[in-house]
Amino acid sequence: MSEFSFLSAFLVGIAGGVHCIGMCGGVSIALSGAIPKNANGFPYALAYNFGRITSYILAGAITGAVAQIAKKYLPLSGPILAILSGIMLLSMACYLGNWWRGIARIEKLGGHLWKSIQPVAKRFLPFRSPLSAIPYGMIWGWLPCGLVYSTLTWALASGTAFSGAVIMAGFGLGTLPALLATWAGANWVLKGFRQPMVRQLIALSLLIYALYILWRAVSSF
């Protein structure tokens, strides 16, 4: 199941590439102005995204650990968390398929926290080396994002810190091609992310997986 969850989360990240371009694409482009003159920007872009994905993995491990503790002391918490995860995955499938975009409202929940965190990122600008881009990326990994929050509920329902980290790693790696393509100006790659058929197929697959999770959760009562 862990392998399947990783692959599913990876596909969600791929399908959500267009959303990621809107949320973080501007940051990726701005990186070119923060690196030393005449320096190769690719290591800086990789370092930034490494930091961002590291934050996702950390958040997944924390939420998975919380669920692991809850399951130990609250017997019914496992199925309840699985139902919550299934509902959020259904919402995510609707968002990716452009059937219903209500999940975007969830992003507002983290707005207040983000306002207090964002100014810290400026302390790492301009970059002196690719290593200095890692903490910058780690801070931007906490940017309010409905897709990230939804995937975190999936990590929460996984029930262990390791599984939660694996799920968020898959999601983070899935978002990587779109953001690197934005930085590199690879328009032909970006067009692939915008193909409606690709998004619809992934959204449908995620919908089926969400229904399976809900069925398993309800059957466990």
- pLDDT at residue 119 tops 70: yes
Residue 13, token pair as written in the block: 């990240």
Name residues whose C-beta falls within 8 Å of residue 79's C-beta, 6 or more positions apart in sequence.
217, 218, 220, 221
- pLDDT at residue 91 tops 90: no
Range of the domain at 110: 2-219
180, 5, 198, 176: which is closest to 96 by C-alpha?
198
- pLDDT at residue 129 tops 70: yes
Instruction: Report the amino acid identity of residue 78.
Output: G
The 3-state DSSP class for residue 143 equals coil
Cis upstream peptide for 126 (omega within 30°): yes
Predicted local confidence at residue 1, as pLDDT: 47
Q: For the whole prediction, is pTM greater than 0.75? A: yes
Name residues whose C-beta falls within 8 Å of residue 129's C-beta, 6 or more positions apart in sequence.
none
* Burial class of residue 112 (count of CB atoms within 10 Å of its CB; 0-12, 13-18, 19+): exposed
d(CA 54, CA 169): 8
Highest mean pLDDT among 70-74, 87-91, 142-146, 217-221: 87-91
Task: State the helix-helix crossing angle for 130-140 and 42-73, rounded to 10 degrees.
Answer: 40
Is there a contact between 126 and 35 (Cβ–Cβ < 8 Å)?
A: yes
Mean pLDDT of 190-217: 79
pLDDT tens digits along 32-79: 677 888 888 889 989 999 999 999 999 999 999 998 888 888 777 778
Predicted local confidence at residue 40, as pLDDT: 84
Count of C-beta atoms within a 10 Å radius of residue 163? 22
d(CA 63, CA 219): 24
First vs last C-alpha separation in the chain: 20
Predicted local confidence at residue 62, as pLDDT: 95
State how many domains the chain has.
1
- pLDDT at residue 125 tops 80: yes
